[in-house]
Structure 1
Amino acid sequence: MEEKYRKVLTKIQEADAIVIGASNGLSISEGIHIFADDSSFQENFGDFRKKYGFRSIIQGCIYPYPSQEEKWAFFSRMFEYFLYNKETSPVMKNLYELVKDKNYFVVTSNIDAHFTLAGFPKERLFEIEGNCRNLQCSHGCHNRIYPGDEILSKMAQNQENGKVPPNLIPKCPECGDPMQVHVEVDRNFLRDQSWQTSYQAYQDFIDKAHGKKLVLLELGVGARNQMIKAPFMKLTSLEEYATYITFNKGGELYIPDVIAAKSIGIDGDIAEVLQQLVQMK
């Protein structure tokens, strides 16, 4: 295994460009599992679980709450769970340490905003499905995203009986309707100018890496997440000097034969893998 780690480290150190693709498996390595009815979910969202019957954070995101007061109680609690007074996790610190001196770009479907928390600059980050700390008009009446840290934190700290006070519910400054968290939970998700700019930056980075030593570093991306996996595999196939490196666990590791010769797969705990690589660095 050490030889495989050494090979991964060499590829990263020799790369002209690195594209990091991250999904739920990376969050799981930090201790956050948005699809699981685990002890962490029950400890932090047990009252919602009992009242509404949903069994995971992701189910809570799409639940049809009977009122805005109850809806914001959940989303502000989720914000607090992901971010409030949070230190950067050892997992994210190690990932940043691994690539901070390299030419890199991050594409992620995670909504926990942990990349910016860890110091990854926004101009090198494309959050495909938004993140939990931004707000938008629930009807998309205008194409703008707003920072929500202050109001989300206030709502999280002022909940009673599973509701937030009506006066704290954020309203759209244009139409006066309620806002919603800027995560892709319905068809109202705004692909605003900042989203488009991030998407274009991602495409430009890939274009500039053409013909160079490109590493596609995939972290915890499940087989169903084709938004990240499919482009990574296609690029590996098309780019002569590309290397596809994937970290995953629990049977999620998959490398098709067509790119096997240009790929490295490590089946294991992502937290442990990143820790090992940083120590070897």
Structure 2
Amino acid sequence: MVPAKRVITAQAGETIRTWLKEADRVLVAAGAGLSAAAGYDYGDTERFRELLRALHRLGLRSRYLLGAPLPEDMMWGYWAVHIDDVRFTPGPNPLYGRLRDLVGQHDHWVMTSNVDALFARSGFAPDRVFTPQGDYGRIQCTVPCSHDTWPSKPFLDPILGAYDRDTGRVTDPQVLPRCPDCGAEVFPNVRVGPEFVDDAYLPAGQRLARWLADAPTDSALLVLELGAGFNTPGVIRLPMENVVRRTPRARLVRINPDHPDVPADLGKRALAVPVGADRLLDRIAR
């Protein structure tokens, strides 16, 4: 007997290939599940222990738990190690590369809640990637005193140079970052509250909106949604459903091992794929 998930994956792969052939445009929409499938799982306890053993000794077990209050030197040690791991790892990611190959020559855009730049690092055109939640590659004032943001790597490299892996602390207080304009504390330029500065990302969002609005009425759109669950459903999951609802010749493929359900009102224009993106893309690649 063939395992049910293998059958589902094979059937879904065939449908996706057919829908891609029939599509004029492709909108790739991604949440944290895609990066987790690509090897950057914030719930990975073993990777957390490997990278941040001092915090592991304190009882913390994953990056998802880092709401815990920590001294400034330990918190910036965490941010520097974490961001260096997920944002500045060199080279493209194989899973994202397979997704880029799948999209092929289609006119396409990307919208993602992920802040790791893995799309731009893996062959997708950076000027066609909308990241409404921000980017670990930038840093901002926490006040904020202005709408300026700055590249984060020049702030993080000195921290990594002064980071003591055994204690989890930054040994040189002079490298703890401050706003270059007002001297206040800084934070990665990602959406955590109303102080988030989104100016750097709005132009891409406006271009994506125009791309959707200016398409011919008979244009066929395929929305490929990968790994977008219910942590922040208003960022990816619900907007993608609405895009398909208001676009007559649009289809939605929702790839999610835990939350694959699609709205009943989309009928045969929506496909639920209850497996991880890695399993599905591996199957399609074969």
Q: TM-score, normalised by structure 1?
A: 0.89
- Say if 1:83 and 1:195 are closer, same or farther in 2 by CA, change over 3 A: closer
SS of match in other structure, 1:226: coil
**Bigger share in helix:** 1
2:244 paired with 1:236: yes
* Pair 1:264–1:190, CA change in 2 (3 A): same
- C-alpha separation between the residues in 2 aligned to 1:270 and 1:209? 28
Q: CA deviation at 1:100?
A: 4.1
CA distance in 1: counterparts of 2:202 and 2:87, whole angstroms? 25
Q: State the Cα distance separating 1:210 from its structure 2 match.
A: 5.6
Measure the CA separation in 2 of the matches of 1:210 and 1:137. Answer: 42
2:198 corresponds in structure 1 to 191
Q: Which residue of 2 aligns with 1:260?
A: 267
Partner of 1:204: 210
CA contact (8 A) 2:132 2:198 kept: no
Deviation beyond 3 Å, 4+ runs, structure 1: 1-4, 83-87
Q: Distance in 1 between matches of 2:91 and 2:132?
A: 24
TM-score (norm 2): 0.87
Distance (whole Å) between structure 1 residues aligned to residue 261 and residue 157 of structure 2: 40
Mapped partners of 1:186, 1:237: distance in 2 = 30
Q: In 2 relative to 1, CA 17–75 (structure 1 residues): closer, same or farther, beyond 3 Å?
A: same
**Counterpart for residue 32 of structure 2:** 24
1:60-100 Cα deviation digits (max 9, x unpaired): 2x443332x22211110111221344432211110111124
SS in 2 for 1:235: helix
| 8 A Cα contact 1:37 1:56, kept in partner | yes
Q: Which moved more, 1:81-90 or 1:197-206?
A: 81-90
Q: Does 1:245 align with 2:253?
A: yes
2:174 is equivalent to residue 170 of structure 1 = no
Alignment of 1:117-132 (within 5 A): 117-132=121-136
**Coordinate RMSD, CA, aligned:** 2.0
Deviations 1:161-187 (A, max 9, x none): 322222222322211223211112233
Structure 1 unaligned spans of 5+: none
Which aligned pairs between 1:26-175 and structure 2 lie closer than 5 A? Answer: 26-34=34-42, 36=43, 38-51=45-58, 53-60=59-66, 62-67=67-72, 69-160=73-164, 161-164=167-170, 165-175=172-182
Q: Structure 1 pair 274/221, CA: closer, same or farther in 2 (3 Å)? A: same
Amino acid of the residue matched to residue 147 of structure 2? N
Deviation at 1:54, TM superposition (A): 3.8
| Inter-partner Cα distance in structure 2 for 1:152 and 1:26 | 25
Q: How far apart are 1:3 and its partner, in Å?
A: 4.2
Distance 1:173 1:150, change over 3 A: closer
